Amino acid sequence: MRLKIGELARKTGLSIRTLRHYDELGLLSPGERTERGHRLYSPADFARLLQVQGLKSLGLRLDDIRVMLSDPDCDSGAILSRHIQQVERQVQEQQRLLQRLRAVASRQAVSASELLEVIRMSEKIREKVASIMEVARSVGGDDQSRFDAEQQAYLAQQAETLGQTRIEEVQNAWPTLMAEVLTEMERGTDPKDPAVRALGLRWRTLVQEFSGGRPDIERTLSDAYQGRMTPEMQAMWDYIAKAMT
């Protein structure tokens, strides 16, 4: 039995837009079409879709799911390991939130406004980090063109030295670090405070892993970000810069 895309959408509860997106990503591309070019999904396609949704429910990225289902030789263990690390970071973030809530609740008198302020701050920080990472991804898409030929060759060598696993670890470390920096900003912590200076050291270490410690590459990358920074991003940038001075 073959299902058209609308029928599959109704059967699974997914939107037609989602199924088309899966097709574009190569996650679920039906091998048959009607005379008018409409997609026809086979029982095998339906079974694959269930696999996709099962892996997606675990929080895996769609690109990783595509690789795991399409390449029998892929290192699925490495993909799962990276995802485990990501989940662990999320758990740590939630534990920090829990500690803040307990600190507020431990006081003899806690007003509803104080409790809501803690929750509001946490939500606000998550939104800011998501916005900043979106800018970072847009810069990352074209930053290589900003470097001269010699710098590009050096960066390629640096990436090879670090290895793909470490590169992904560094990329995944940024959201957590930014959330911690923004939390200290919201608290009004002096950037010279030892806790913030420790965050600055972590920030510097991550930057140097990308640049290999070359000031010229760091300046070029900084210029790329400066052109797209939002006011909130600039405030965070200035704050952590004071901690690193």
Write out the residue range of the structural domain in which residue 60 sits: 3-70
Q: Are residues 88 and 205 in the same domain?
A: yes
Q: Are residues 103 and 204 in the same domain?
A: yes
Write down which residue in 70, 97, 115 finishes a domain.
Answer: 70
Put the strands of the sheet holding 3-4 in their side by side order. Answer: 3-4, 39-41, 32-33
Q: Are residues 131 and 212 in the same domain?
A: yes
Q: Are residues 240 and 226 in the same domain?
A: yes
**Residue among 188, 178, 186 at smallest CA distance from 240:** 178
Count up the domains in the chain and report the number.
2
Residue 170: exposure state from Cβ atoms within 10 A (0-12, 13-18, ≥19): middle
Q: What is the residue-level pLDDT of the chain in tens, covering all 245 positions?
A: 788 888 988 888 888 888 888 888 888 888 888 878 888 999 999 998 988 888 887 778 888 888 888 887 877 788 788 778 877 877 777 777 677 667 666 765 556 665 555 556 667 777 777 777 776 666 554 445 667 788 878 878 888 887 777 777 777 788 888 888 888 887 788 999 998 999 999 888 888 888 888 888 888 877 777 666 777 778 888 899 999 88
Give the C-alpha separation, 199 to 73, whole Å: 39
Q: Are residues 174 and 117 in the same domain?
A: yes
Residues 6+ apart with CB under 8 A from 103: none
Q: Are residues 90 and 47 in the same domain?
A: no
Q: Are residues 120 and 43 in the same domain?
A: no
Q: Are residues 185 and 66 in the same domain?
A: no
Q: Are residues 100 and 202 in the same domain?
A: yes
Q: Are residues 22 and 135 in the same domain?
A: no
CA 132 to each of CA 114, 174, 235: distance values in angstroms, whole numbers, following the listed order: 27, 10, 12
